[in-house]
A and B are shown apart, each in its own frame.
Chain A
């Protein structure tokens, strides 16, 4: 089954304690992206990656890091989380190249993060 998985689904942590949210897709997609969803603000792109070892900042990258060492994985790293990073996070993937499905993003189930 084609899917994007995220772990953990729920996380409560404290300020300053480094954490990683994993994202994996099994569709061989080149493009992967992280978003945060906040009430009234919709989805805002944090980072995206066009392919292995190619990443770039989205609209709200401050306080986050990503890496893309393998095509299927795109972890989101919060080195020193703060309460303003409390949010619902979604990972997504798509293929940018020449199919009818190009650029249609497949979303993971979301990770609800609370930073105390």
Chain B
């Protein structure tokens, strides 16, 4: 079974600080990887995704993530956070199970609070 771990549950940063949120997954096969963001009171929105190719992917709002296959990791980064980045961030893995269906597993989320 696939699983996703997000080790940072709550992160507090000052504006302009750099951000890195960890995500590790457990699955032996081919995976698609995602980061979603949930702003307070809103539904989830896609930040970025990795399917194949360049392991460094860029998303919206200046976010990027690097897929390191050997470490089963897909960490999210942003060089300089803003107050408006205050939100909860979810890493997700999409992998085909033995039946060929697509199960999606989310991490438990990381709450980011940016202090002006």
Contact = CB atoms under 8 A, between A and B. Distances in A.
Interface of A: 31, 33, 35, 40-45, 48, 50, 56, 58-59, 90, 92, 96, 102-105, 107-110
B16 to A, nearest CB: 28
Interface in B10-45: 32, 34, 36, 42-45
Interface stretch (B61-69, B76-84, B101-109): B101-109
B94 A43 contact: no
A111 B49 CA distance: 26
B115 interface: no
Given A42-B108, A103-B32, A104-B34, A90 B43 contact: yes
B90 interface: yes
B72 interface: no
A103 B49 contact: yes
Interface in B83-112: 90, 94, 99, 101-109
